[in-house]
Structure 1
Amino acid sequence: MTTSGADGTKERRPVIALAMGDPAGISPELTARLLALSDIRDAAHIIAIGDRRILDEGARVAGVTLDLEAASLDNAGTARHVFVDLAHLDPADVVRGEATLAGGTFATRNFRTALELAHAGKADAVCFTPFNKKAMRFAYPGYDDEIRFVADVLSFTGKVREFNVLEKVWNARVTSHIPLKDVASHLSVEAILAELKLTQACLKDAGYEEAKIAVAGLNPHAGDGGSFGMEEIDIIEPAVEKARALGFNVEGPFPADTVFLRALKEGFNAVMTMYHDQGQIAMKIIGFDKGVTMMGGLPFPLCTPAHGTAYDIAGKGIADIGATREAILLAARMAKKKRALSAAA
């Protein structure tokens, strides 16, 4: 699990536990295609988790040949990528393009196993190919989203937030999976400041030592001086000022309809939006095939492609590997940074 550094010395590649996602979508072929990439082999040692029969079907669809060693959960250290075969889903039971209990059970067990590996210190990061939330709820009725599942599996009580990541800009948000009508009531100076602190820390883990963050307003035209709402004046501006007093390079609030254009033009590393779709729409237009979802605040990096299971193209061999590749590379960079910080402490 070592590679040669620039000075010729050996350095350990980050170990990434990769959970196969929903078997009825593009996850099997994405997993197979990813494991065949030479730059991924150079960047990380992957412990892939799932059912080898499902993976082999994914490799057939993707048209790739895999060089994998079989491994157990207790013995996954090798120079090559390895596969932990849980042997828990017969391909004959997969209904392509349909969310099912069998598919949700497969994905939740893979995800749980990957999380437990990282929690036990046997992996430096966790990644997964796309899940289908409907299928996950069939298997785990309390499944609201990945954050809730991670907290349940690890008994984690800290603050975890979902970030969307593109090469040129990140998107952080103050509220996430709540109804739009409830957003304003969930905004406070303290909540925004807490998100800015977490965003700053996650950007630093990803290698941005001097991160520049733009903050979006809530209302049209960022409230237009109070004409269209007071949240900018009463809540968002004071939070930005407090963050600046702490030394953060943060500006705003800016109108949400132009903040991403400003960020790309002026070199902001991240945009903080007030609610889910305010940022998601912009990010997916900018780079749907490259977008990564990263969960910040955990003891280890957790990344996945930002797109879904693409039931409509499952089995056609045309799924784009871009976002999955970027998810692994981001997890590897963040894991190396965390390891370096731990060694220096």
Structure 2
Amino acid sequence: MITREVESTEKEQYNKLVNHPLQSWEWGEFRQSFGQKVVRLGVFEEKKMVSGYQIVFSQIPKTNYSIGTLLKGPKPDELMINSLKKLGMEQNAIFIKMEPLLLGPDPKTQTFLLDHGCVVGKPLFTKNTFWVDLTKTEEQLLSGMHPKTRYNLRLAQKNGIMITEDNSPEAFQSFLNLHFETTEREGFFSHNQQYHQTLFKIFHPAGITHLLIAKYQNQPLVAWLLFEFNHVLYYPYGGSSREHKELMPSYLVMWEAIKLGQKLKCQNFDLWGSLGENPDPKDPWFGFHRFKQGFGVRLVEFIGTYDLVINYPFYSLYNYIDKIRWLFLRSFTKIKKLL
């Protein structure tokens, strides 16, 4: 087998082989639109592509160095590691951060990574997530929910909450308004408006995005931006209003998202993260975790985050500076909340 860069004419074949929207061709185009270097590698048996993955390189400001990320890629092997080391040197990368789409614990793969130049790294995505099995019937899904979740869902229906899929510019603006209202209210990090607009501009024509809006008396209360890719539905972004929370609109949005996934013939619904087993009730994400948990989900764990180190001296320096940077950002966020 050989590894080489994937050509633009092989886009369709590449997209059929990768298993996550962050590995999709469109995600690469999105990252390129912000000036990042994207390299797509394909593994070929003779002329047939049998696997593929893409690496995004971000330049460190005012230096000649970069950092690579390979998120939600395939299971690492000798061929991949050798290809990444070579590519990392070509791109003057300090390291390439890997978060394989591989369920854990997997001691064999984890040992392989540690034996081939990787170290346990700082995560970009949560190690755990929740999955909803969309092959079940509606009756099975409802019976598997927590009774309180089922009650709140029916309360939203009774209260006249209306859910529609609306991918119009007006609906997308409603999503942005609710998303930024939520992140401001909860003190969560969010990408800026340009980020979301560019993402939607690239993903929507490809059929990846689906925007659900919950309204009460024509007033938008909740908006979720969903991804659908290779028979899996994802919930990466959302937002909600302070108003009419007693009507429980988010519960009905989740239920309609589940039914949309089934309509799209998805096998699974990935809720894009959870706190894992036995979460701390004081964690700022605990309420969101508990909300998801009520829908009869399966808690899954990935093998975690590994940094393939290319430049060891600079890797240590980078981690030191990054630690100080995040301490400053957290302190700034706490001060901002007090003002």
With normalisation by structure 2, the TM-score equals 0.24
With normalisation by structure 1, the TM-score equals 0.24
- More strand by proportion, 1 or 2? 2
